[in-house]
Structure 1
Amino acid sequence: MFLALNEIRHSKLRYALVIGVTFLIAYLVFFLSGLAYGLAQQYQLAVNKWDATDILLSDKANDTLAMSMIDLDAINQVNAKDKAVLAQTPGIILNVKKTDDKQNVSFFGIKKDEFLKPNITEGKLFSKTGEVVADNSLKTRYHYKLGDKVKLATNDQELTIVGFTDNAKFSVSPVLYSSLNTFKMIRYGKSASQQTLTVNAIVTKGKLTDKPAGLKKLSIPEFINVQPGYHAQVLTFSFMIGFLVVIAAVVIGIFIYVLTMQKIAIFGVMKAQGISSSYIAKSVIAQTILLSAGGVIAGLILTLLSSLALPDAVPFQNNPMFLAGIGILIILVAILGALFSVRSIVKIDPLKAIG
């Protein structure tokens, strides 16, 4: 460790460049992981709030919630610890005061006495037809307030926001919760009274012991994974982050290898003086740990500072376990890259190195 620190002090600029490159790559990896995790969470925040075990969809729906149609009475044939019906449809809302202000949303029709009801951060839960509870992003990003009226772009029905809830996103869109009667109005418009309401899913908690024919059971993780676009997005970001980690290791390994080759004569003199190859090798490994750890920590600090300055529109979210795992992985792979330098040190012949 003494030799490693002494070399870094002696050649500050040279080693600062190594730390700088590591810092930039680590920052890019951490930032991409924050974007990937934040975007993935926006597919499932509302689902995570259910704290459910399974979801039942029509077996003809190809695991797609919006395509599933289930009779409302089917819930009576489901045997589980706790159960709730869910009606869902995507939609577009307009601000009544600003008709050119449009937002894509996802409507959840639920029963207010079942476990799918949202927690209320402001206002109250819906109690009348036409009332909805909205995700907080509609307030913070689009400046909606309690009592604001919104119009559906599809059928001109008006809804009133009576409450707000947090962390309610589904397939990236903010969720509006309503009663089943309101949902029927949202789906069918003026002809709602003539239509028979069907729901899209039955959500259960605990062990499911019986279900009606024609329904398919998916665990909540399976249901999240089959959401359109979710799996492809997670794979894309995972490969990007993985390749960046490998690139970081290769870059650090090359830097350490070049620096080692430049010091062959010095190492030859040290070996001629009786200093063992293992001691020199340990110094190179220690040096790699210091350089990579310095770059990783600097990248982490800048990532945390950057997250504070990002606007609400950016789906960025830090996960401490992901950040720690990626940081440790970068350091470990960098050490693996430095082992090539150790191999060269072991092979140094003191007489040839000195010349």
Structure 2
Amino acid sequence: MYLAIREMRFAKVRYSLIAIIMLLVAFLVLFVTGLARGLAYDNAASIQNMNASHFIMEKDSNHRFTRSQVTEQVLNQAGSVAGHENVQPLGVRMTTMTAEGTAGKLDVTILGMNPEGWLMPKVTEGAAIPSNGSGRVLVDRKLKDSGVIVGTVLLDQASGLKWTVSGFVSHESFSHSPVVILNEQDWQQLQSLAAMRPGTGQSEDGKIYNAVAVQATKHQAEQLAAALPDSEIVTKSDAVSAIPGYKEEQGSLWMMIIFLFIISSFVLAVFFYVVTIQKSSQFGILKAIGTRTAYLVRSVTLQVLLLSVGSLLISMLLVEGMKSVLPDGMPFLLESSTLAYTSGAFIAVSVVGSLLSVWKVTRIDALDAIGRSAA
């Protein structure tokens, strides 16, 4: 440790340049990771926030809510297996609305659910919607940016129905669109109007949902699959992955992150290899006077660790500062768990990048190095 720190103090400019490069790479990795996680959450926040382990969907719906239709009979059958308190109906419909008193159109996702059930998110402003009665909705806070306030009347362009905003919820979005939450009565009214259009189905009692949310164990999920052969039991993670554009969007961003890790590994490997070559004679002299190779290897590895950890700490501060100036509409999320494993991966990649230098140190011959130094 003494040798590593003393050498870094002596060659300040050289190691400062390496530290700056590592800092920029670490900042870029953390920032892109935060964007990837933010986009993933913005794409499926409502589904991820639901306290459900599985969803029952129509067979051959490809795990997509908007392609699925299940009846109240499926809801009752699921309740008899998993317990009626552990199942909740869920409606999902993407549409376009207009808000009275504002200009422009709003692309939103309508969610129909039981206001007293465990699917209902917490109201952050205004009042909750009742289970009975109609015409009141909860909306995501993002719609405030479009001029929507409590009491605003929303018009669904597809059905012609109107609802009044009763309150706001936070972090509720689906496929990057803010959510509008209806109670079951309003949802069934919307479904009844949709059923009048050609090519749409409707059950005898008119109650159609897109899915049934379930709180179930693995064993109960297997029982549900056996009891509902015409339906699919979909895990929450599979339902999230099936949201249109989710996998493609995340695949592109994570490919960028992986390449950043690979590039950083190569950059560090080249820098430290060049530095090691330049110090070959010094390493040879140290070996000649009895310094063990393991000590020199630890010195090189410690330098990499100090630079990578220091760069990470500074980059974390820069990312936090960047978060504070990002516009509200830009999705950015960097949880402590994501930060921990990203930082760990960066440090691991840095150490792997130094292995070429470590190999070079072990190959240095003391006599050859002294000869070159004398020449």
Tell me, yes or no, whether TM beats 0.5. Answer: yes
Please name the residue that 1:85 is paired with: 89
Please name the residue that 2:361 is paired with: 345
**Matched residue type, 1:147:** G
Q: Which moved more, 1:20-29 or 1:319-328?
A: 319-328
Please name the residue that 2:212 is paired with: 202
Instruction: Note if 1:107 corresponds to 2:110.
Output: yes
Please name the residue that 1:180 is paired with: 184
Matched pairs, number: 351
Cα distance in structure 2, aligned partners of 1:114 and 1:96: 30
Tell me if structure 1 keeps the 8 A contact 2:155–2:163. Answer: yes
**Matched residue type, 1:121:** T
1:281 to partner: Cα distance: 1.7
Cα distance in structure 1, aligned partners of 2:286 and 2:367: 11
1:158 to partner: Cα distance: 2.1
Instruction: Note if 1:17 corresponds to 2:21.
Output: no
Tell me if structure 2 keeps the 8 A contact 1:94–1:102. Answer: yes
Distance 1:60 1:190, change over 3 A: closer
Tell me if structure 1 keeps the 8 A contact 2:108–2:178. Answer: yes
Instruction: Note if 1:49 corresponds to 2:55.
Output: no
Please name the residue that 2:163 is paired with: 159
Instruction: Return structure 1 stretches of 4+ with deviation > 6 angstroms.
Output: none
1:265 to partner: Cα distance: 1.6
Instruction: Note if 1:303 corresponds to 2:303.
Output: no
**Matched residue type, 1:114:** G
1:189 to partner: Cα distance: 5.1
Cα distance in structure 1, aligned partners of 2:271 and 2:195: 71
Cα distance in structure 2, aligned partners of 1:109 and 1:350: 76
Cα distance in structure 2, aligned partners of 1:191 and 1:219: 28
Structure with greater strand percent: 1
RMSD of aligned alpha carbons: 2.0
SS in 2 for 1:44: helix
Tell me if structure 2 keeps the 8 A contact 1:132–1:163. Answer: yes
1:191 to partner: Cα distance: 8.8
Please name the residue that 2:332 is paired with: 316
Distance 1:149 1:264, change over 3 A: same
Cα distance in structure 2, aligned partners of 1:115 and 1:268: 69
**Matched residue type, 1:80:** A
Cα distance in structure 2, aligned partners of 1:336 and 1:171: 38
Tell me if structure 2 keeps the 8 A contact 1:47–1:170. Answer: yes
SS in 1 for 2:334: coil
Cα distance in structure 2, aligned partners of 1:190 and 1:203: 22
Please name the residue that 1:119 is paired with: 122
Tell me if structure 2 keeps the 8 A contact 1:252–1:292. Answer: no
**Matched residue type, 1:85:** P
Q: Which moved more, 1:172-181 or 1:70-79?
A: 70-79
User: Equivalent of 2:140, from 110, 113, 135?
Assistant: 135
Cα distance in structure 1, aligned partners of 2:343 and 2:49: 29
Cα distance in structure 2, aligned partners of 1:232 and 1:124: 38
Cα distance in structure 2, aligned partners of 1:286 and 1:117: 52
Cα distance in structure 2, aligned partners of 1:175 and 1:245: 36
Instruction: Note if 1:231 corresponds to 2:236.
Output: no
The normalised TM-score by structure 2 is 0.88
Tell me if structure 2 keeps the 8 A contact 1:65–1:200. Answer: yes
Structure 1, unmatched stretches of 5+, are: none
**Matched residue type, 1:16:** S
Please name the residue that 2:98 is paired with: 94
**Matched residue type, 1:328:** G
1:136 to partner: Cα distance: 1.9
1:245 to partner: Cα distance: 1.1
1:197 to partner: Cα distance: 4.1
Name the % identity.
28
Q: Which moved more, 1:281-290 or 1:45-54?
A: 45-54
Cα distance in structure 2, aligned partners of 1:76 and 1:276: 74
Instruction: Note if 1:146 corresponds to 2:150.
Output: yes
1:124 to partner: Cα distance: 1.5
